[in-house]
Amino acid sequence: MNKNLLNFPLYVGIIIAVFGGILSLFLNNSMFLKVMHGGLWLFEIYGILLLLWKGTLRKTRYFLFIIFSFLLLGIGVFFKIKFQNSYIIPIGVLGIISSYFLHFTKKKQKKLLDFVKLLWVIISYLTIGSVFLFQLPKDLMFYANMILWIAILIYLKNDYKNNNT
């Protein structure tokens, strides 16, 4: 696949989000806010998948432990919703954070993107755990989303620089 086409959904997500945001400012219609959130969602989900696909994590043994921890987190959220039992959530959260941290410490060469991704993993999963365990507002995910945006933009900048040199 062409390297430029691989980043195309990210650019589409940004354009949709900006378009929806600008229209929602001038027109009193909630549909445009949904369009903006759809663009943000596309950018974030595809960005996470792209960072995971292009990164070195999936080639390590830590990746399987993160997948297992993510499944535990999902089961914990299910138990929290269904039975008001939240004992499994911290195990999943700590498993994801500690596995990614171990992967990070084993890397020989660490760049800015690596540090930002580590910060994103820590902030986002601590926030997810806190929202489900302590009923904190979901708006706290805003900070994790901003760190994710920074990571994706750093990736795009690096990718652009690598393709044009």
Rounded to the nearest integer, the mean pLDDT of the chain is 90
Cα–Cα distance for residue pair 160/85, rounded to 1 Å: 47
User: 0.95 cut: is pTM over it?
Assistant: no
Cα–Cα distance for residue pair 81/24, rounded to 1 Å: 34
pLDDT for the residue numbered 3: 63
Evaluate if residue 71 carries a pLDDT over 90. yes
Q: Which residue has the tokens 């919703």?
A: 81
The tokens of 160 are what? 């652009």
Are the C-beta atoms of residues 155 and 113 closer than 8 Å to each other? yes
Mean pLDDT for the stretch of residues 6-17: 91
Q: Which amino acid is at 67?
A: I
pLDDT one-digit tens code per residue, 117-155 = 999 999 999 998 888 888 888 888 899 999 999 999 999
Are the C-beta atoms of residues 70 and 27 closer than 8 Å to each other? no
Quickly count: other Cβ atoms within 10 Å of residue 153's Cβ.
15
Q: How confident is the model at residue 2 (pLDDT cuts 50, 70, 90)?
A: low
pLDDT for the residue numbered 104: 96
Burial 99-127 (b: 16+ CB within 10 A, else e): bbeebbeeeeeeeebbebbbebbbbbbeb
* Pairwise pLDDT comparison (2 vs 133), residue with the higher score: 133
